[in-house]
Structure 1
């Protein structure tokens, strides 16, 4: 029987055995000196971790890698198309990884499954990473990719992303308000939106499994090249002064995550400005749970809700 005595409170009771198995398998990829790894070492570990949880692409989903024009350099993307029908919507997906990790491979099966289960085209964006490319490089690539795709599609385009990608999706939604082509909606998965790291869930879950508050501060420092900018909604979506004309928004947060408070704060700001927004606070889950959608029942159920939500956004339906 597995020794559970080293599981820290309150997570010993908040997480079920399936989730602990996911956490244990994930943590096993990090060496004892993980805290001293540079960003390249962290990339190697992260890539191996994502590969271990990769479920493969559903049969029939076709893939094409190419590039889009960017403000500074070409932006590499991967397009997923379903086998059964002509897509009625596009999901522009922005991957997580703290702005320094991940790419087209890290979220490949996630994007392929979204394509298969919705019947929509999915376009994954390989935006430039920090610290080689400091803010606003990640935002600029995400914005340019959205504008290009939106101009060249005759159907709705939905923004989606997890963690850092949720941040970028929210920033692009804010930046494109009032333009000729706007998102039909946005789906943000345990997003980093820039709430105050000295309070709330950043304190109560500062040492949560899979992500800590110290990790978040480290990523912000690498992304900004030093001190984080203040009052810049491209960096911190919650810093915006005006949230009018934002698209319908679905946010999914994990209970055991320093970022758990960002989602409700953000949705409250959107609804106060007259928008449509709802936060699904997923109990007993941890940051990065998308990788556990095939092994953890709670994560599987949450992924089902995301698919339902994407279909509703594409159809301009709001039943929340």
Structure 2
């Protein structure tokens, strides 16, 4: 079944949901989206960056397609595949967060998947619009394939980063590049105009206010790189779309688009699934570490990714055999 429901929340889930609902949601609803208000959000990433460093990984700052990235690799012995990598694209509504805020989730994916993870610091608001964010993500993906020696790249992202991952899939098809080996979405934004969609609601969402998303959307088309292509990722769903696994919080505003995408992919017989967790908050695997639902979500992502990589390797072997 493409929709898997996890209906038995841990006890920690209830206070986490209620806390974000009563504190974070009102804060986001009132936060000013003028230039000073958006610019000040960078302090969140800086504050998290000075926290405890993830264990079991080694980190290396570097440049990828002229943008800062953090290369995170599992430390110690592993069965690392030198031809496969993960490109991670952080969330934050294209206006907040960065390498520091998403170091934990990138590290956990590196450990669980036993793969190098390139966590990208793409340009975002208030200095750059979504078209520029997309251009940075696509350039990083292209460089991993054409200059860094990777034959297979998994694209992963949470929230706004999920939208960028979908745009990488679109851009790869248009440019004749190999499509990603898999798409991993954690509460991914799949509709750039979700704040204006009358069929969507944030009534049951723990902390995303739909009205604030609608206000933010007026700034998405800011340059310097113009936005092109689809604004809803379901419009590029076809039989060549990569294997897809999505983790959502049950009832969150973005879940309906994730379900729609996976149901379309299932119709094309693409390996795709949504795992919906009750009493969780938007992008919960990014926000928590030892939370039982987070642990299980990371495990299922790792298992799904491993399966997609095995299938891609087998396809590559068949292709190489025919070419030989």
Report the TM-score range of the alignment, normalised by the length of the smaller protein.
Answer: 0.7 to 0.9
After superposition, where does 1:222-237 map in structure 2 within 5 Å?
A: 222-225=219-222, 232-233=229-230, 235-237=231-233
Counterpart for residue 122 of structure 2:
127
After superposition, where does 1:210-221 map in structure 2 within 5 Å?
A: 210-221=207-218
Counterpart for residue 65 of structure 1:
61
For the pair 1:177 / 2:176, whether they are aligned, the reply is no
Counterpart for residue 77 of structure 1:
69
Counterpart for residue 56 of structure 1:
53
Q: Which moved more, 1:29-38 or 1:189-198?
A: 29-38
Counterpart for residue 159 of structure 1:
155
Q: Give 3-state SS (helix, strand or coil) of 1:223's partner.
A: coil
* Structure 2, unpaired ranges of 5+: 1-6, 313-324
So what's the TM-score if we normalise by structure 1? Answer: 0.79
For the pair 1:21 / 2:21, whether they are aligned, the reply is no
Q: Distance in 1 between the 2:24 and 2:130 partners?
A: 29
Q: Distance in 1 between the 2:73 and 2:157 partners?
A: 18
Counterpart for residue 310 of structure 1:
305
Counterpart for residue 260 of structure 2:
265
Q: Distance in 2 between the 1:217 and 1:15 partners?
A: 31
Q: State the Cα RMSD in Å.
A: 3.1
1:278 is displaced (CA, Å) by 1.7
So what's the TM-score if we normalise by structure 2? Answer: 0.78
Q: Distance in 2 between the 1:14 and 1:97 partners?
A: 28
Q: Which has the higher contact order (CA 8 A, sep 6+)?
A: 2
CA distances 1:268-306 after superposition (whole Å, capped 9, x unpaired): 232334433222222221102013443432232222212
